[in-house]
Amino acid sequence: MHLKPSERGNSRRTLVCKRRICTIGMQRTMHRKRCLYLMRSRLWFLVSLSLGAMPALAQGTASTPSIFAPESTPAHEIYGLSLFVLLITGTIFAVVAGLLAFVIVRYRARKSDEPHEPAQIYGSLQVELAWTIVPLLIVVVLFLTTARIIFAVEDAPKPESALDVTVVGHQFWWEFRYPKLGIVTANELHIPVSRRLDPEPTYLKLYSADVDHSFWVPQLAGKTDLIPNHPNEMWLDPLKTGLYLGQCAQFCGIEHAKMLIRVYVDTPRQFNEWVKNQQRPAVEDAAVADGRRIFETEACVNCHTIQGTSAHGTFGPDLTHLMSRATIAAGAADNTPENLRAWVYNPDTFKPGVMMPAMQLSKEDVDKVVVYLTTLH
């Protein structure tokens, strides 16, 4: 059979079009499969991450701060409330998702179905009452349960043996004062462990020196804001010794993320030893007299306090026992001579935007100041 030139051209174009359509169809199919594969991979990754994260969240003081490892009465109350809320909301999700899946599968369109308009239903009193009353009851239950927990924590009686600590939030560090013990320190809070039969809670009075802050150590208590000219209070009674990490939970400026909290829960013996050390005057070592002289003659004394010297500033942390702390810069760096030298020379090394200015000291003077500071145990 012989085709005319025009027919041969038409057949070629038809073949090319069919190939293009086939190619496009294959590409769409492959794209669809690739999207499904990516969705399944990402879903599996999220599930694996969630399952792997839950044990880590409950590991305790060595892990990331988490409400899933409570070690204090207020934290236990919040933990129980969170599980109750999760149970209710999880049940609602399961019921709604189950009904949705049932409707999608049961009433899906089939090839044998004739096209028609589904039955229209208007005004069902029973359905409207159900979706109004049931959510209202759930909200009332959640509200009453939450209110009970809040009042139980807020109105707890204060025992005579309680330790009082005044907390002052600064941009961007924490000041801790022990009024009955005559101690002022920074960023690292030391408190004694409590006992169930003989509780020794710690009561914190919260102030702000500048802007809003929020004191939050998830394993010990809930968030409590520090608001200028509006004192707040909270209490802790940790039942297990160790280090508990926290964070300023209120955006307070450029270095908010590095305004960290370290709470050391000590045994009674450890706490008493720490108190005795903090109550001692600053170390006076004649071998570091040059560093002390530089410190006292520069602007450092306008911001910092070192007991027994001419430094009586309150804008920055008290440095009387600086080397008794594990970190500097509100937990941003370990307290080592190398980090201390970098911090004094240029604070932006660890906290860009921090309020502490670079003093423009020579490297030799910085070394002498650092040598002096390392004697302040």
- Distance, CA of 83 to CA of 88 (rounded, Å): 9
* 246 bridge partner residues: 261
User: Do 309 and 220 share a structural domain?
Assistant: no
- Distance, CA of 214 to CA of 285 (rounded, Å): 39
For 75, the token pair is 């934290």
The angle that helices 337-345 and 363-373 make with each other, rounded to 10 degrees, is 130
Nearest Cα residue to 167 out of 195, 147, 150, 187? 187
- Distance, CA of 223 to CA of 202 (rounded, Å): 16
User: Do 68 and 205 share a structural domain?
Assistant: yes
Q: What is the pLDDT of residues 40-51, one digit of tens each?
A: 444 443 434 343
- Asked whether the predicted pLDDT for residue 350 surpasses 50, the reply is yes
Contacts of 315 (CB under 8 A, 6+ apart): 170, 302, 303, 355
Q: Max CA-CA distance within the chain? A: 115
Q: Where residue 116 falls among pLDDT bands split at 50, 70, 90?
A: confident
The pLDDT, as a whole number, for residue 17 is: 45
Q: What is the pLDDT of residues 120-138, one digit of tens each?
A: 777 788 888 988 999 999 9
User: Poorest-confidence range of 33-47, 62-76, 184-198?
Assistant: 33-47
- Asked whether the predicted pLDDT for residue 37 surpasses 80, the reply is no
- Asked whether the predicted pLDDT for residue 39 surpasses 60, the reply is no
Nearest Cα residue to 202 out of 216, 217, 192? 192
- Asked whether the predicted pLDDT for residue 22 surpasses 90, the reply is no
The pLDDT, as a whole number, for residue 47 is: 38
| Structural domain includes residue 32 | no
- Asked whether the predicted pLDDT for residue 203 surpasses 70, the reply is yes
Q: Do the beta carbons of residue 182 and residue 142 sit within 8 Å?
A: no
The pLDDT, as a whole number, for residue 121 is: 75
Task: Please compute the mean of the pLDDT values over residues 82-104 and round it to a whole number.
Answer: 95
User: Do 253 and 303 share a structural domain?
Assistant: no
User: Do 364 and 217 share a structural domain?
Assistant: no
The pLDDT, as a whole number, for residue 76 is: 94
- Distance, CA of 227 to CA of 288 (rounded, Å): 41
User: Do 178 and 253 share a structural domain?
Assistant: yes
Residue type, 199: P
User: Do 87 and 181 share a structural domain?
Assistant: yes
Domain termination site, one of 265, 297, 327: 265
- Asked whether the predicted pLDDT for residue 13 surpasses 60, the reply is no
Q: What is the CATH number of the domain that holds 333?
A: 2.60.40.420
Task: Please compute the mean of the pLDDT values over residues 296-315 and round it to a whole number.
Answer: 91
The pLDDT, as a whole number, for residue 53 is: 41
- Asked whether the predicted pLDDT for residue 163 surpasses 70, the reply is yes
| Structural domain includes residue 14 | no
Q: What is the pLDDT of residues 217-265, one digit of tens each?
A: 999 999 999 999 999 999 999 999 999 999 999 999 999 999 999 999 9
The three-point CA angle 66-60-244 to 5° equals: 75
The pLDDT, as a whole number, for residue 27 is: 44
User: Do 72 and 203 share a structural domain?
Assistant: yes
The three-point CA angle 156-159-165 to 5° equals: 90
The tally of domains found in the chain comes to 2
Q: Which domain holds residue 255?
A: 60-92+159-265
User: Do 209 and 79 share a structural domain?
Assistant: yes
Quick check: pTM over 0.85? Answer: no
Q: What is the pLDDT of residues 317-341, one digit of tens each?
A: 999 999 999 999 999 999 999 999 9
| Structural domain includes residue 256 | yes
- Asked whether the predicted pLDDT for residue 3 surpasses 80, the reply is no
Dihedral of CA 275/276/277/282: which sign? positive
Residue type, 105: V
Name the average pLDDT for the chain.
84
Q: What is the DSSP letter of 305?
A: B
Q: Indicate the helix (H) or strand (E) that contains 89.
A: helix 73-106
User: Poorest-confidence range of 108-122, 139-153, 175-189, 311-325?
Assistant: 108-122
| Structural domain includes residue 118 | no
| Structural domain includes residue 326 | yes
User: Do 216 and 81 share a structural domain?
Assistant: yes
The pLDDT, as a whole number, for residue 283 is: 85
